[in-house]
Structure 1
Amino acid sequence: MPTVLLCLSGVLQSYGITSRWEERATGPRPTKSAVTGLVANALGRDLDAGLADLAALTFAVRADRPGQLTSDYQTAGGGAFPLDPLTAATDPRLAETPEAWLYGAARKPAPDADGQLRAPWKAKERTTVLSPKHYLQDAAFLVGLTTPSALLAQDITNALDRPARVLYLGRRCCPPDHPVAHGIVDEDAESWPEQVPLLRRATTTTPRVWIETPPGPGTTARPEQPPTTFAVRDHPVLYTRTLMTSPPPYLDEESR
């Protein structure tokens, strides 16, 4: 059964599962949803395009270089800004004392009864937001997508070689530093992690592997199964099991 291999290597990567509000966390590995989105992007599919064929692929990921967790602290909003000319012109009351009406970046603006765009006073008072964002630094993963369709496997590999859009590793600020396409092997999700040589600069000879599997004892459930379309933000549960492997060492003639 053909398996499409993807090399996900970069200075930074980030794959969130439970991120809420300002903080953006990352898991220790790529998620199936993130990889499916990357492949759909390479194929040139739109946000509302169907994903049934990609969601049906069997997912496995091997952490040849797990990387290190790093964090970036960003700020947004806040500060004082003078009234812009348009706002002053549409509200003479504010124009009389503009120095008293300094404001932060407006949020949730909406037309009032006269059709003028307004924002609630509390929204304009909003203070600076500190947004911690977490990443995997200098990590490299080998991902396998197994399918019974040799044609689909070849289409995906061709698209990864010549993607329709820019590819990124979880977030748009995280480009890959290595070609993503890593070939096709005739191995299933259970066997390829043991058979495919380690990536260059692997930091372990016994990498951890996560393999998609039916629910049962020893499995872990996470909301990372791709939806039927990314226009619907609803990710069903995906079950995986974790194991350690001993793949062959990196060989120039066998690795890209």
Structure 2
Amino acid sequence: MEYLLFRLYGPMASWGDPAVGSDRPTALRPSRSALLGLVAAALGIRREEQSLHDKLAASVTFAVKQYSAGVLLRDFHTAQVPSQDKKTIRRTRKDELQTGRLNTVLSIRDYRCEGLWVIAIELTEDAGWDIRQLKEALLKPKFTLYLGRKSCPLAAPLSPKIVTSDCLRSALDTEFEPILKDSDADRVWLPKSDRVTYYWQGRKEATNLTGVSSDKVWDDPVHRQRWQFSSRTEHSASKHREE
């Protein structure tokens, strides 16, 4: 089986979880929606091109190896919004600010700092792209790539590579070039953890790991512009790094 492997690392990342009101939490690992958005940006698919987003979603499955979920950063900030008025249509932010009747609301945004993940892409039988086309897109993306939000840029090359393996876990254990040179190690902190966690969908036994748990997650995008998502089943398991 061929897999397309790449890594994600940055000082900040935000992997959207179900949100209520003004709170915007983040998952520990990259969500399916975020990964589809990243690959779509690399391919040059615009948000309004829903048919291409549907085609991409039907073409790929993802698996994640989490070396470190990073440290939680919670950002409290205020925003000004106009009073609710059903008779008035405000089409732009400029229209909102010109009302003269602004209220202050508190908004909360969560981020993961210094997280490190390896991603594996597996194509489905009806994939609309060749795996080498996806690799080329990640090497030379059409749009800027980021880690969940535009304020979260990448801090290391994706270094995409195609790996052939009979086991998903073996593919995810593929080694990448160090992010830092030895001479930089004393000056920059990188995430370290005694345990790594694997996340994947499909067959529960695909990684040959023990202690596997399964959960329902709501991160499978149905419509990009309407921000609608459906649920899927995700499996996960952790192990010591030396195992």
Match of 2:208 in 1: none
50, 53, 56: which one aligns with 1:51:
53
Match of 1:110 in 2: 89
Match of 2:219 in 1: 224
Contact 2:47 2:224 survives alignment (8 Å): yes
Match of 1:67 in 2: 70
Unaligned runs of 5+ in 2: 179-189, 206-211
Give the residue type in structure 1 aligned to 2:168. E
Using a 3 Å threshold, how does the CA distance of structure 1 residues 194 and 159 change in structure 2: closer, same or farther? closer
Match of 2:186 in 1: none
**Which moved further from structure 2: 203-212 or 3-12?**
203-212
1:155 aligns with 2:133: yes
Using a 3 Å threshold, how does the CA distance of structure 1 residues 248 and 226 change in structure 2: closer, same or farther? farther
C-alpha separation in 2, matches of 1:215 and 1:136: 27
TM-score (norm 1): 0.72
C-alpha separation in 1, matches of 2:113 and 2:71: 5
Task: Answer with 1 or 2: which has the greater Rg.
Answer: 1
Quick one: higher RCO (CA 8 Å, sep 6+), 1 or 2?
A: 1
TM-score (norm 2): 0.75
Match of 2:144 in 1: 166
Compare the two structures and name the one with the higher strand fraction: 2
Unaligned runs of 5+ in 1: 79-103, 112-117, 250-256
Contact 2:55 2:128 survives alignment (8 Å): no
Q: Secondary structure at the match of 1:131?
A: strand
Contact 2:9 2:154 survives alignment (8 Å): yes
Q: How many angstroms does 1:230 deviate by? A: 2.0
| Identical counterparts, % of pairs | 24
**Residue-by-residue CA offset, 1:22-44 (whole Å, 9 max, x unaligned):** 22110111101100001001100
Q: How many angstroms does 1:215 deviate by? A: 8.5
Match of 2:31 in 1: 31
Size of the aligned set, in residue pairs, is 215
Using a 3 Å threshold, how does the CA distance of structure 1 residues 75 and 146 change in structure 2: closer, same or farther? same
1:233 aligns with 2:227: yes
C-alpha separation in 2, matches of 1:202 and 1:126: 42
C-alpha separation in 2, matches of 1:150 and 1:51: 11
Contact 1:226 1:236 survives alignment (8 Å): yes
Contact 2:4 2:163 survives alignment (8 Å): yes
221, 241, 244: which one aligns with 2:238:
244
Contact 2:65 2:172 survives alignment (8 Å): no
Match of 1:99 in 2: none
Q: Secondary structure at the match of 2:24?
A: coil
Contact 2:204 2:235 survives alignment (8 Å): no
Contact 1:146 1:189 survives alignment (8 Å): no
Q: How many angstroms does 1:62 deviate by? A: 1.0
1:213 aligns with 2:202: yes
Using a 3 Å threshold, how does the CA distance of structure 1 residues 248 and 166 change in structure 2: closer, same or farther? farther
105, 116, 128: which one aligns with 2:104:
128
Using a 3 Å threshold, how does the CA distance of structure 1 residues 163 and 248 change in structure 2: closer, same or farther? farther
Match of 1:11 in 2: 11
Give the residue type in structure 2 aligned to 1:141. W
**Residue-by-residue CA offset, 1:57-95 (whole Å, 9 max, x unaligned):** 1211111122110111121117xxxxxxxxxxxxxxxxx
Match of 1:100 in 2: none
Match of 1:42 in 2: 42
Using a 3 Å threshold, how does the CA distance of structure 1 residues 232 and 127 change in structure 2: closer, same or farther? closer
**Residue-by-residue CA offset, 1:178-208 (whole Å, 9 max, x unaligned):** 1124311113673335631377455135301
